[in-house]
Amino acid sequence: MIKDPFKDIRRLPRPWLDTKDANTLTLRVALVVYLGVVPLLVAQTLARVLLAQRQPYVGRPDLGPFYAPWDLVPWVEHLHGLAAQYPGAVEAIAVGQIAVAVPALIAVTILVLLLHRWMVAKANPAPDTHGSARTATIEEIRAAGLFDNDGPILGFMRVPYTLSEMVATAVRQRSLRPFLVPYAERLIRAKAEWHTLLVAPNGSGKTQDHILQTALTWRGSLIAYALKEELPLGCVGFRASAEGMNSRILLVALGDPEDPRIVPSGYINPLDAIDTTNANREYQDASELVAALKGQAAGDKPGMGSPSESFFTSLSTTFLECLFLWMRYVMPAERCNPAGALQLISDPNADSSRSLLLKMRDFSHAPEKRWRDRQGRATDRNPIIVEAAHLMLTQLTDDQRTSVLSVAATYLAPFRNPVIAQATSRTNFDPRDLLDAEKNLTLVLYAPYSAKNTIQPIVRFLFQALLRRMVRGTVSSRTAKGRCLVQIDELDSLGYVPVIANDINELRGMGVTFDLAVQGYNQIYRRYGKDEPITMACTARVIYRPVDDDTKDKVSHAYGKATLRVKAPPGSGGKGKDGGVPPYIDLPRGLDPNEVGLLPSNRCLIFIGTDAHKGTGLRPIYAWRRHAFEDPEFSYRMAFPPPGLSPSTPMGPGNGDAGTGNRAA
């Protein structure tokens, strides 16, 4: 009977399911005792044999020709008496002990290190495993430079000390802790230019474990979209301090903050993103703003109606584009904002829908006559605005024009909120400073979670305006003086964001880095389709324990496959013969989706793209993670109060889990 060749195939490494570990605390304590006690006893015994020549005062040997270790105590007592009779004898013996102990210590150390190396190899055997179905080693992570980067924090690794590092750390800390906890915790960080994607389900701690820690360590400018108060409260104090980044804090409140420590200090007018100095670009700027405001589905072109749009929706899109552009020419600065546009459309004193369109068509836009009409003549009115207004005036009835304006007003309805209208009434900073290394800015877009559905189009609107104005005049990262990190927690809550879908790769080359967080890959597919560009654009992807099947399956595929070399049983025959067994066997996956769902709550998987490590990629990293308030350094940084407020400022009702008081507890 032929032996089953699959019986001896070893199980593939599953880090969070395997229990073997050669670096346990028990083994380390045993090694410390062995290194500290055994060489001393060996040296004492050799000294009594070689130097004292088995004199009577050292006692009688109990273990044949050797002295037992417990004879050390009476021998020390004899040495005190010997010192009185023979001056200098004790010093001579001490020198001899050192001469014997040093070689003995070196020999025992080499023996223990070889033993430890053998135990590590025994605990993690994979000599016959090929393919990619294993996690990266510490040496591979160090070679990739992930311990030395300055980008978003991905996790941390426990790096075992070498013997010299252990001793040096113990001396520096004046503690025995390095011997009992013989590893250092090293942060794994992406490069500053890498886009990062965090996939973590609700309640997994992604804000504390990743977003907040990254905000507290990113040295450049920062744009953060926050649905929770713990982000602005936890990071702006340290970033504004001289000990931190000395950053200018701009907090844009898109809802009424419940915590009194959140004080609005930033304002953004999206219409400022329309560059009226460039006649070839201005209409495209207006079109992209309207597309972001509407949140068009994947596949739609900015500024154009999709096949699914109704007749009035298409015309309202064109109307808004022309209205925004017209306002940039003729309206005073205090009224040239989204709330002002809504007021023009909904003006109860207007005679009819014709009055606004007549102003857009007939009134001078720019006295310097910067445009050319269809006949090539100079004109002081933008031909695009004139043609759109003329079309609606001549081809539509009054009822149809009213319907077009009504649909346009629905897109601007959120600006009826006085808090939002105030936040978008003007711009009190230059967005281009976000890419200036000498002008560090921290811009926080705060929206209460309860109002996320209402705020959704506004945030898309602001992101489109911000990013367009930031990179204006920036050809590549070489022309940008610094880098800006854009953090978006709960990306799905914004719907479809055109600037991310269309320009995420180009913005990376202009000095903008995205740090995105979603609850699962299914959220990305829902908003951006199966051929979404986000996953491919993000060089670093961090996975917490997933709960949806799409994420489990994708992680299972990304973990890779393996090929195992097996020994053919005797008499099985060679290649092409009946009963032959191939020397290599391909297994389907290193991890099946169910095993991915067993990832511990304090661990994560990190996938690095192929363009990250000199074009060769890196195996998945099985890393640790923990909450920011559990780390002494991050707790210290979060304790800095927001600018202008003292740490004793009382918290608002219902915010017991958002302030530093609860974290300290």
Greatest alpha-carbon pair distance for the chain in Å reads: 126
Q: Which two tokens stand for residue 298?
A: 């994947």
Cα distance between residue 544 and residue 251, in whole Å: 29
Cα distance between residue 135 and residue 159, in whole Å: 15
**Confidence bin at 132 (pLDDT 50/70/90):** low
**Confidence bin at 662 (pLDDT 50/70/90):** very low
On the 0-12 / 13-18 / 19+ scale of CB atoms within 10 A, 587 is middle
pLDDT at 32: 59
Q: What is the mean pLDDT of residues 560-570?
A: 58
- Model confidence pLDDT, tens digit, residues 140-169: 999 889 999 999 999 999 998 887 888 888
Q: What is the mean pLDDT of residues 410-427?
A: 93
Q: What is the mean pLDDT of residues 156-183?
A: 85
Q: What is the mean pLDDT of residues 287-306?
A: 61
Residue with tokens 């079109």: 287
Number of neighbours of residue 250 by Cβ within 10 angstroms? 20
pLDDT at 37: 61
Q: Which residue has the higher pLDDT, 539 or 116?
A: 539
Q: Which residue has the higher pLDDT, 533 or 569?
A: 533
Q: For residue 265, what are the contacts with CB-CB under 8 A and spacing of at least 6?
A: 249, 250, 251, 643
CA distances to 438, 486, 518 from 298, in Å? 38, 22, 18
Q: Which residue has the higher pLDDT, 300 or 417?
A: 417
Residues 553, 554, 558, CA angle at the centre, nearest 5°?
120
**Confidence bin at 368 (pLDDT 50/70/90):** confident
C-alpha distance across the termini of the chain, in Å? 67
Q: Which two tokens stand for residue 353?
A: 């829908």
The percentage of the chain sitting over the pLDDT mark of 70, rounded to a whole number, equals: 68
- The mean predicted confidence, pLDDT, of the chain is 79
pLDDT at 585: 55
- Model confidence pLDDT, tens digit, residues 242-283: 999 999 999 999 988 877 888 899 999 999 999 888 888 899
pLDDT at 664: 30
pLDDT at 260: 81
Residue with tokens 């180009």: 506
pLDDT at 527: 92
Say if residue 523's pLDDT is above 90. yes
Sign of CA dihedral 13, 536, 617, 583: positive
Q: What is the mean pLDDT of residues 50-77?
A: 64
pLDDT at 120: 59
**Confidence bin at 343 (pLDDT 50/70/90):** very high
Q: Which residue has the higher pLDDT, 159 or 58?
A: 159
Q: Which two tokens stand for residue 275?
A: 């560059």
Q: What is the mean pLDDT of residues 129-149?
A: 80
On the 0-12 / 13-18 / 19+ scale of CB atoms within 10 A, 318 is buried
pLDDT at 15: 53
Q: Which residue has the higher pLDDT, 321 or 588?
A: 321
Say if residue 2's pLDDT is above 50. no
On the 0-12 / 13-18 / 19+ scale of CB atoms within 10 A, 123 is middle
**Confidence bin at 331 (pLDDT 50/70/90):** very high
Q: Which residue has the higher pLDDT, 222 or 564?
A: 222
Highest mean pLDDT among 83-92, 367-376, 606-615: 367-376
The percentage of the chain sitting over the pLDDT mark of 90, rounded to a whole number, equals: 41
Q: Which residue has the higher pLDDT, 71 or 135?
A: 135
With contact defined as beta carbons under 8 Å apart, do 583 and 566 qualify? yes
- Model confidence pLDDT, tens digit, residues 615-660: 457 889 999 999 999 999 999 999 999 886 544 443 333 333 333 3
Q: Which two tokens stand for residue 665?
A: 């507890």
| DSSP letter for each residue of 163-217 | HHHHHHHHHHHTSSHHHHS-EEEEEEE--TT-EEEEE--TTS-HIIIIIHHHHHH
Q: Which residue has the higher pLDDT, 98 or 559?
A: 559
Say if residue 113's pLDDT is above 60. yes
pLDDT at 39: 63
pLDDT at 86: 63
Say if residue 53's pLDDT is above 60. yes
Cα distance between residue 225 and residue 460, in whole Å: 11
With contact defined as beta carbons under 8 Å apart, do 608 and 536 qualify? no
Cα distance between residue 327 and residue 345, in whole Å: 12
Q: What is the pTM of this model?
A: 0.75
Cα distance between residue 12 and residue 561, in whole Å: 10
Query: Among candidates 158, 154, 149, which has minimal Cα distance to 186?
Result: 158
Say if residue 539's pLDDT is above 80. yes
On the 0-12 / 13-18 / 19+ scale of CB atoms within 10 A, 238 is buried
Highest mean pLDDT among 11-25, 63-77, 447-461: 447-461
Cα distance between residue 635 and residue 277, in whole Å: 48
With contact defined as beta carbons under 8 Å apart, do 174 and 641 qualify? no
Say if residue 499's pLDDT is above 50. yes
**Confidence bin at 18 (pLDDT 50/70/90):** very low
pLDDT at 116: 64
Q: What is the mean pLDDT of residues 62-69?
A: 63
